[in-house]
Every structure is written in structure tokens, then in C-alpha cells.
Amino acid sequence: MTKRHRTAASTAVVALVIAGAHFIGAAGAHADEVKPSVPPGTEPSAAAPVAIDSNAPGLKIPQGGTLAPVKVLDIAEVVEDLGGEQRRQETNQTVMMALQSEVLFPENSAVFNAQAAARIQAIAQEINTQKATRIRVFGFTDDQGSYEHGKELSKQRADAVQAELAKTVTAPGVTFDVRGYSEDYPIADNGTEEGRKKNRRVEITFPRGSAG
């Protein structure tokens, strides 16, 4: 059984501006030509559990004092296989599955290897369980080679994963947001092969449903 490392991280809510996204049906995928400040879906999702009344007497604010602005923390649980081939990140609202490109594709290719379909179908089954109808599929590369080549390759790989997901995801009205980001938004150090391997990935993100 694969050993797993579990870590918990919390990040403060920040305001993020998302550039226009193009959503499509399961039949195809199109690149978004406007580069957003960060990939959609990476923004914190936490909301205040209860409303806070700054005038409530029970808060016992000293005379002349005021409450600081409310800060809500987004708690994320991250589970990664020992080899780092697959990483799962959950918040209270979303699930993100990241697969290293090496477990899906040969080097510098967007054609699946023998084990890729089974891995993607397992994720598709969870999407069905969560009854998710809005799915993000984002491809990323390391910083080796030209930026434009990385953008094309990462988009082709994201398209391939989306097409495989669409074979199994059965929810009516499902939409996919499919993008390739080249070397943008690394999650590890591109100065080492271990880091570059983690950066070459495809991320699949979908909302948690009643099953979550």
C-alpha cells in the first residue's frame, strides 16, 4: 500500500481578479487567450461560518475600540503519494487532483501511456460521486524549452485528460474549463529535476458535493 504524507495548510483570504474564462461542453476544448492573474479555482474558498456584529455587547470592546476586519482562513488538506506521482488537495468546497505528466504521457508527448486511462477514469468516478458539473483541467510544464512550446504541450495534455474524463463523467450539463499554462505557476523548484518533475503536471479540480 502506498505510503502517504499528510500536511495541513491554511491561507488567508485574499481578493483575486479572474480574467474571462471560456467554458465548454464535454464535446471539445478551447484555449483561453487571456492570461489570468492566477489559475481559476486556486483562490481561497472559505466563508465566514457566522455573521459577526461589531456592536454586540458580548464582545466587550473597550470604550472607543473597534473590531479589526474579519479574517477567514481557508483550510486545505494535502495528500501526496510517496513518489509524488499523484497529489490530492481538499478544501471545504473543492477537490483538486494533480497527476505528474510522467504517469500519463511519454516525454514531450500528449499521447497517453498504458496506465493513464485507468488513473483518469478513477478520478472521473469520484467526480460522478460528488455530482460535480463544472470541472477545471489545467496543464503545466517545467521551464525547460521555450515558453510557447510548453504552452502548446500543456494545453494538448489538458485536452487529452478532458477527453478521457468526458467518457466517464455522466452528469448532464457538465462543463469543462481546459487550459495550458506552460511553466507558469510552478509548485516546486525548477532548479532540480525532482522539482521539475512535480511541475510537469495536469490538475483536475471540481466542487465537493453532498458526498464530501
pLDDT of res. 99 = 96
What are 42-51's pLDDT values in tens digits?
Answer: 655 555 556 6
Q: How far is Cα of residue 152 from the mean position of the Cα atoms in its chain? A: 19
pLDDT of residue 2: 42
pLDDT at 123 (0 to 100):
96
pLDDT 10s digits, 128-142:
999 999 999 999 999
Instruction: Specify whether the CB–CB gap between 32 and 22 falls below 8 A.
Output: yes
| CB distance 45 to 93 below 8 Å | yes
Q: pTM for the full model?
A: 0.69
H or E element, residue 197: helix 193-199
Report the range of poorest mean pLDDT among 8-17, 26-35, 133-142, 156-165: 8-17
Which pLDDT does position 7 carry in this prediction? 37
- Distance between CA 119 and CA 128 in Å, rounded? 15
Query: Which of residues 50 and 147 earns the better pLDDT score?
Result: 147
Mean pLDDT of the region 100-109 = 95
The residue among 94, 101, 96 whose CA lies nearest residue 208 is 94
Are the C-beta atoms of 5 and 80 separated by less than 8 Å? yes
Asked if the model's pLDDT at residue 35 lies above 80, the reply is: no
* pLDDT attached to residue 170: 85
pLDDT confidence of residue 84: 76
Interior CA angle at 121 toward 206 and 163, to 5°?
75
Element spanning 116, H or E: helix 116-130
- Number of Cβ atoms within 10 Å of the Cβ of 128: 16
Nearest-CA neighbor of 167 among 94, 96, 105, 112?
A: 112
More confident residue, 76 or 182: 182
pLDDT confidence bin for 24, thresholds 50/70/90: very low
pLDDT at 153 over 80: yes
By three-state DSSP, how is residue 107 classified? coil
H or E element: which one contains 129? helix 116-130
Q: Which of 191, 185, 3, 192 is nearest to 201 (CA)?
A: 185
